[in-house]
Amino acid sequence: MKRVSAALGRALLIWNLPTIAQQQPSCTGAQQAGTWTLQSWVAEDLETGQKSNPFGERPNGYISYGPDCRMYAILVKDNRKAPAALVPTDAEKIDLYAGVIAYAGTYTLDGNKVSHHIDISWNQVWTGTTQVREFKVEGNTLYIRAAPAKSPLTGRRTVFSLVYNKVE
């Protein structure tokens, strides 16, 4: 009886594999595949409704989505000061750290949502987490909107909206 039950279970699993695979998020056919350069980044404080540009009017950055389901993102504050020497002072290190966000990992898609599964991050708190974003691609423009969450910059509940242009 146990053998029949186990065989039946395996048969049902094999029979349902295409259905199970279709239900699992993946990165296949990702509209946002490729590399994108940051054009704008706006933060909305959910308590006050105030909008700001956390890294200035012209932040720099890239986000890239590969066909191997790997991704990376790096955002850098505009007008960052270079250290006075090759080895920054402690104060310069703090300023440099406060002007960058970077992480990498894998990604999966589920409709208009992309989940960044973070393997490595500028802020160890994000390492091992999943960051969910809504996205939309219109021509050569990628719009990303983060789910409401505590900002890693201010600690306040915030929604981040980013706009990227495709790197050709």
> Domain limits of the chain?
26-166
Per-residue pLDDT tens over the stretch 17-62: 343 334 456 787 678 889 999 999 999 999 999 999 999 999 999 9
Check whether 105 has a pLDDT greater than 60: yes
**Per-residue confidence (pLDDT) for residue 31, from 0 to 100:** 80
**Per-residue confidence (pLDDT) for residue 24, from 0 to 100:** 53
Are the C-beta atoms of residues 100 and 76 closer than 8 Å to each other? yes
**Per-residue confidence (pLDDT) for residue 18, from 0 to 100:** 40
**Per-residue confidence (pLDDT) for residue 38, from 0 to 100:** 98
Q: What is the DSSP string of 96-145?
A: HHHTEEEEEEEEEEETTEEEEEEEEESSTTTTT-EEEEEEEEETTEEEEE
Mean pLDDT for the chain overall: 87
**Per-residue confidence (pLDDT) for residue 168, from 0 to 100:** 85
Per-residue pLDDT tens over the stretch 142-154: 999 999 999 888 8
Q: CA 58 to CA 76: how far, in whole Å?
A: 9
Summarize the confidence of residues 128-136 as an average pLDDT: 96
Give the range among 7-16, 36-45, 152-161 with minimum mean pLDDT.
7-16
At residue 7, the 3 state secondary structure works out as: helix
Q: CA 101 to CA 71: how far, in whole Å?
A: 14
Check whether 14 has a pLDDT greater than 70: no
Check whether 116 has a pLDDT greater than 70: yes
Check whether 5 has a pLDDT greater than 80: no
At residue 4, the 3 state secondary structure works out as: helix
Summarize the confidence of residues 117-135 as an average pLDDT: 96
Task: Phi first, then psi: give them for residue 70, nearest 5 degrees.
Answer: -105, 150
CATH architecture of structural domain 26-166: Beta Barrel (2.40)
